[in-house]
Amino acid sequence: MIEGAQHFPDYLDATAQSALLADLRRVVAEAPLYTPTMPRTGKPLSVRMTNCGALGWLTDKSGGYRYQATHPETGQPWPAIPASLLQLWSNVASGAPAPEACLINFYADRTKMGLHVDRDEETLDAPVVSVSLGDDAWFRIGGLDRRDKTERVLLRSGDVFVMGGSARLAYHGIDRILPGTSMLLKGGGRINLTLRRVTRPA
């Protein structure tokens, strides 16, 4: 795997996963999941999204990919990032300035996410830290060129995946989720959180 990509299987035990889920329910109560749309075409993404943190990542037909401080539908500021996630970041993001954005993606059974690079941030010095909850998913990670060879990694509930160093700009995506592989979410599906630093620290 590309340098800077690190998989921490079972980083959160069952108790920590339930506690994090409870935190996320509070976030979603304030900042409801919504369906983002592609820049220009307005085609809906299959993933549903929300955010917590000072900044949230979003996309829509007219504004494209961007960070903004408010929820696109409620107009309210995003809820704070739960303390448990700030702690997780300081444990795995070795020395990086505090995260400003936590994107929350909800995957239903048939949701995929095409190969992409996370590069809407102003600073690429900090890693992106991802946390998975719920059903297993086949994650695909390659290199800096879309044509580089890729490999797949099974991301399971409680896993953390860090992309820093050379891996910060590596292509990656979700091939598919494996319905029925976790009991954590009552209705099934998968949640993925990605924590990011967006602005350069002062």
Contact set with ligand MD6 (CB under 6 A): 105, 113, 118, 128, 130, 139, 155, 161, 163, 172, 174, 192, 194
Of the candidate spans 49-57, 92-100, 110-118, 146-154, the one that interacts with Fe ion by CB under 5 A turns out to be 110-118
Nearer to ligand MD6, 31 or 133 (CB): 133
Question: Applying CB under 5 A, which of residues 23, 30, 60, 118 lies at the interface with Fe ion?
Answer: 118
Say which entry of Fe ion, ligand MD6, none residue 139 contacts (CB below 5 to 8 A, set by partner kind): ligand MD6
User: How far apart, in whole angstroms, are the C-alpha atoms of residue 28 and residue 191?
Assistant: 12
User: How far apart, in whole angstroms, are the C-alpha atoms of residue 102 and residue 89?
Assistant: 11
Contacts of 127 (CB under 8 A, 6+ apart): 4, 92, 93, 96, 162, 163, 164, 165, 167, 168
- b (16+ CB within 10 A) / e for 62-88: eeeeebeeebbeeeebbbebbeebbeb
* DSSP helix/strand/coil, 37: strand
Say which entry of ligand MD6, Fe ion, none residue 174 contacts (CB below 5 to 8 A, set by partner kind): ligand MD6
Of the candidate spans 26-34, 49-57, 88-96, 114-122, the one that interacts with Fe ion by CB under 5 A turns out to be 114-122
User: How far apart, in whole angstroms, are the C-alpha atoms of residue 106 and residue 24?
Assistant: 11
Nearer to ligand MD6, 31 or 92 (CB): 92
Nearer to Fe ion, 35 or 74 (CB): 35
